[in-house]
Structures are given as structure tokens and as C-alpha cells.
Structure 1
Amino acid sequence: MKRTIVLMNMGGPNNLDEVKVFLKNMFNDKYIIGAPQPIRAMIGAIIVSKRLEIAKENYKKLGGISPIVGHTKRLVRRFSNMVDADVFYEMRYTYPFAKDILEKVKNYDEIYAIPMYPHYSSTTTKSSIEDLKKVAKSFGIENKIKTIDSYYDSDLYNKAIVERIKEALKGENSEDFELIFSAHGLTQRTINKGDLYQKHILANVECAKKELQKQNINFKKIHVAYQSRLGPMEWLRPYMEDKLKEIKSKVIVYPISFTVDNSETLGELVLEYGELAHELGIKDYRVAKAPNHHPYFLLNLKEIYEEMKKF
């Protein structure tokens, strides 16, 4: 039996020339911009034209490449040593796309597609799985694919979260800090249509809080906020910029939406919100790492794979 695991994520530019490709593909996704074609393409083109140069400048600050690329490659290398399958990764909006990876694995007997999104959303999980299955159908291998919707409530996953928070504490007293779980924003309209994302985020926060309690790690206060708002529509609240105004002195921010660090964590949270925190007079502002290739997260992925093999 020849098996392969395909880790699915949104992607990020491999170089500055790919920034436009990334933005164009993302804003042409029907689950990101809900308008029908050709209106969706027109809206996407307007957004890209407004954001392209700013996005390029932001990626220059990150070394001209999205952090998601290197972290994902390291994750794949380490995970490959733990399982009885060949491990690949594919990205929704940048190379390697589903068609690139499925061409390589089409002769495998079983394909285990694991989303790098721990919370289910039409804008992430559903979009990636639908795209993968559409490409798989063109190869006649759609029946080989097994996948899952979410894993935010996994004990191992939440242990990885707490370990990253502990790293950010650097041995200092947690009771001196407030903790913000920062989630990627989503329009309220999407949630009102029944998207499970916010429910999963809040449930994940409760799981992480329980793990913190188990380890006797107590913060002055724990918050949830939403980042990455775009455009005039109503998005999930509270907004991260408003939440930071409530912080008195010391805060640790954990990027609860992400399993792998990317421009939204190292760019937006570290650089942009870090600057805002300084302007607001916050004395100590720290952003914890995403799980990336932490041993607990690798074990979590292995556990997911072993469970998927049973069905």
C-alpha cells in the first residue's frame, strides 16, 4: 500500500514577483469574494491594485518571501520522518498548487489531505478541499482522497499552543501579563450564513485555557480579538486595534487561527500591531510563535493521520 499525506495551506509569495499572483488568486476565490463572475474578478482587481505595493513593501520587511514557505518545508521534512507515507504540501493561492502535487501523487493508493487550518471555514478549509477534489477529479483519483474538517480540540494541538505561549513568557510570571488570542477576521455576513469559524475559534480558546489551567499558568486577563480586517463591511469584533487600547502594561499575543507563521503573524501582529502597541504606551508587547514544527504539533498531525487510516 503506497500512501501519501498532502498538507494544505493558503500559501504565500515565494518571492516578490509572486505577491501579485497571491493576491489575485486569493481575491478571485468565490469563498473570499462572494460576488458572481465577472463582478468578483472586477472587485478582486480593484483590491489588488490598491494593496499590491503596500503588500510588496511588507514582504520586503520579511525578507522578500512569506514565512509560511520555509516553515512549511521544515514541517514537511520533520513530519516525513514520523510516518509511513510520503509527505507533500500544496498551497491554495501560490505554488505548489493542487495540480502540481496531485500530478506527483496520482499513482499512490491513498491520499490523506490534512488542512493546515484547525478551524473549519468556507473561506479556508472548504475552499482548499473543494479545489483539491476538483483537480483530483480531472486526474480520476478523487476516490483516493481522505480528509478532515477540523482538529482545534485536539489535546496535542492545544499542548503545542501552550508551549508556544510559555516560550513567549521566557520564564517570567504569567500573572504580570494579559493574553490575547488573536484570530484572523471574517465578515459578519459570512458568519451569519452559518460558517462555523467563530464557534471553532471560541471553542479552541476554551480548550487552550483548560490546558493553561492544567499547567497552573494564570494570566491577569485573557482576551479574544480579530485581526486582518479589510474593506467597509462589518467584521467580527472586537477588532485587534481596539483590544490593544484596553491593555495596561504587558501582553502576549497568540495567533490562534494559524498553525504556521506567515505574513499575518510576523508581519501584521509583530510589526504593524507592535508599532501600534508602542504608540499606545504598552510596556511589553510579545507575539508567540504559531505551532510550526513544534514536536506536539507534529504528534498531533501523526495522530490525525493514524485516525484517518482507520476509515
Structure 2
Amino acid sequence: MSSTVVVSDQPGEGRLAHAPSDHPPVPRARVGVLLANLGTPDATDYWSMRRYLSEFLSDQRVVDYARWKWQPLLQGIILTKRPFSSGKAYRSIWNHELDESPLLTITREQTHKIAARLKEAYGDEVIVDFCMRYGNPSTDSVLRGLQAQGCERILFFPLYPQYASPTTATANDHAFRTLMQLKWQPAIRTVPAYYAHPDYIEALAASVTEAYAAAEQRPKVLVVSYHGVPKRYLLEGDPYYCQCRKTTRLLQARLGWDDTQIVTAFQSQFGPEEWVGPATVEHVASLAREGKKRIAVISPAFAADCVETLEEINQEIRDSFMEAGGEAFTYVPCLNDRDDHIDALMAVMRNELGGWV
């Protein structure tokens, strides 16, 4: 990568060639990679949870009802009660050693591994960091920090294998809101969904194979559980449901299984309208009543374990299955910072960084 700066007394800074002597130092031009995940509360107390939930549930990509109708309900009723139940859920999975959510811990570990890989390949020409759509570290602060370090080009990578308006789109929206406020905007690319990438499917298959090998009794059915969305999202053109279904089909093909060994379901439904289904919590109970007493559950829509996997799947959905007569429940962790997952993310990044490094 060429540079128009000359060396100054400050590492990484210089004076622009042919610039006046009083021109302020500028950082050496670099490329930034910004990994973006959903978010996390700063703590599990009532007010921390309320701040986080207010930001999350006020996002019209997440709840797209008219604000005049939704906000009074949210601020007056939901946020009076829900911080207590959500705080309890987070406390059950909290990383007490670091006093943070597992999502934050894992995303940081992923970032460190990716940074090491990119440093080995490109030296200090590429800077890697991570941000959260809701909570901290905020997208705005980290994106501005990358620009301050000289990142004139930034690859923005939402860590969602399947595209959805309430996840990928809102992450991109937030990044571009920061760009709208900058005098000097970096060039930016957004990473598309990678739900069908061969390396991603390979990592999913390896995680399933390892979990089955470690189980005391081999599960009869693998439930591939994705976060749900209202059915009207599908009818309005959101590709999430179809991409989830394709991920399951590709995983099934890679494992060489028939239709009796793997099913797709959707979790985290709320509100009165119809959602895509079947609902995971109900479907696992049905499997138990049908005599399928040993199951495994995996959640490929999440790049890192979080409250929706560690608490909802491994506690609530497990309980639903066992109470309906199930005998053995195997949770297959998210890909997290597995080396094959990092390999897959790196393969996606190398393609999207083409022409920049």
C-alpha cells in the first residue's frame, strides 16, 4: 500500500508531502477490519439491563411497529418488568471472572485470533477491532478509533452467517450513521452473508461430529435452531428464513444424513403475530413425545455463544424437552473461537479485502 506521508517523531504519524510546515500530523494510511456483534449489557443489575434493553428494543429494525404505539408500551410496561427477568437470565451465564457477558469474552477472543492471522499476513498494514450494535464497545466509538489510527478503508463485518434485517441490516445502518457525521469518511465495505460458505459449513459439521462423538449416547435427531423472525419479514423480502433453511440443507449434505436425523426450528418468538416455525421450544417437546428421547441442538445463526444459546437453548429448551419425556439433551456450542471457525472467517475476509491489501 503506497503512502504519501513522511516520518515524524510520532510512531505511525507523519507530515503530508508538500504540505505546509504547520500542517497537523496525520496517521499512516491503513486498512481496518471491524467485527460487529449484537451487543451486551454492561452488567446484570436493573438499570444496566434497562439501558441495554431500551436501546435494543427501540431499534425499529428489531421491532418495527409505529413508534407512537410501541414506545409508550416499551417504556411504561415492558421496561418496568423485563430487566428483572433478563438480568436473571444473564446472571445464570455471566462470566464472573471477567465480569462480562460470554458474548463479549468470545468476540474479543475471536478478534485477537483474527488480528494475529492478519498481522502475520500483512504486518501492521491492517488493524482489527470489534464493536457491538447495542451496548459497549459501541460501533461509533470503535469506528472513529480506527479512522484516528489511519484506516482510510474499513471492512465492516457483521458476525451473522445469515442475513436478516434485525441483525445484519441494523449493524450496517449504525456504521453508516457514524459515517454521516464524519468530515472525512473512510471507504467502507460491508461483508455479505456467508451462510453457504464451504469453510463455514465444514466447521459446523466438525462441531457436530465432535459433539456426537463426546456424547454418552448418540443423539437420534439434531435440531438446528435459528433465531426466529415474524413470518411477514419473509413475505416482505427478508432472505433470512431461506438462508437458514439452506444452511441446514448444506450441513445435512455434508454430514451425509437423511431427513429423519436433522430438523430446522426457530427460537425466541414473542408478540402476537405469526412467526416462522416450527418453534424450537415446542418442537423439542414434540420430539420427546414421539419417542425421540435423545436429541442435540445447534444454533448456527450465532457466531458466538450468548444468552440465546447458553440460557435459552441450554436451559429453557433443554427443560422443555426433558419435561416432555426426553432422556438425553446435547447442546452443540457455537463455533466461537474454534480454529476452523477462524479459518472460515478469514476466508470470507480475504475475499472481501481483495484490492485493498
Interval of TM-score (by shorter of Structure 1 and Structure 2): over 0.9
| Separation in 1, partners of 2:235, 2:209 | 35
| Separation in 1, partners of 2:67, 2:272 | 21
Residue number among 12, 23, 37 corresponding to 2:53 in the alignment: 23
Work out whether 1:299 is the aligned partner of 2:343: yes
Residue number among 257, 272, 277 corresponding to 1:237 in the alignment: 277
- Give the gaps of 5 or more residues in structure 2: 2-29
| Separation in 2, partners of 1:31, 1:110 | 26
Map of 1:249 onto structure 2? 293
Residue number among 135, 160, 165 corresponding to 2:203 in the alignment: 160
Work out whether 1:86 is the aligned partner of 2:116: no
Q: TM-score, normalised by structure 1?
A: 0.93
| Separation in 1, partners of 2:65, 2:260 | 43
Contact 1:185 1:229 in 2 (8 A): yes
Partner AA of 1:291 in structure 2: L
Query: CA deviation digits over 1:72-126, x for unaligned, max 9?
Result: 1111111111013221111111111111101211131211111101111111111
Partner AA of 2:128 in structure 1: V
What is the Cα deviation at residue 21 of structure 1?
1.9
- Give the gaps of 5 or more residues in structure 1: none
| Separation in 1, partners of 2:181, 2:61 | 21
What is the Cα deviation at residue 176 of structure 1?
4.7
Which structure would you say has the larger RCO, counting Cα contacts within 8 Å and 6 or more residues apart?
1
Contact 1:115 1:125 in 2 (8 A): yes
What SS does structure 1 have at the residue aligned with 2:180?
helix
Q: Displaced runs of 4+ in structure 1, greater than 4 A?
A: 171-176, 217-220
What SS does structure 1 have at the residue aligned with 2:181?
helix
Map of 2:139 onto structure 1? 98
Partner AA of 1:88 in structure 2: D
| Separation in 1, partners of 2:243, 2:65 | 26
Map of 1:203 onto structure 2? 246
Map of 2:31 onto structure 1? 3
Aligned length: 308
| Separation in 2, partners of 1:219, 1:122 | 29
| Separation in 2, partners of 1:301, 1:14 | 27
Larger Rg: 2
Work out whether 1:221 is the aligned partner of 2:255: no
Partner AA of 1:263 in structure 2: V
Partner AA of 1:179 in structure 2: L
Contact 2:225 2:264 in 1 (8 A): yes
Residue number among 71, 84, 97 corresponding to 1:53 in the alignment: 84
Q: TM-score, normalised by structure 2?
A: 0.81
Residue number among 321, 336, 346 corresponding to 1:277 in the alignment: 321
Map of 1:32 onto structure 2? 62
- State the Cα RMSD in Å: 1.9
Shift in alpha-carbon separation, 1:220–1:189, aligned structure 2, 3 A: closer
| Separation in 2, partners of 1:290, 1:75 | 12
Shift in alpha-carbon separation, 1:24–1:161, aligned structure 2, 3 A: same
Contact 2:38 2:132 in 1 (8 A): yes
| Separation in 2, partners of 1:20, 1:149 | 32
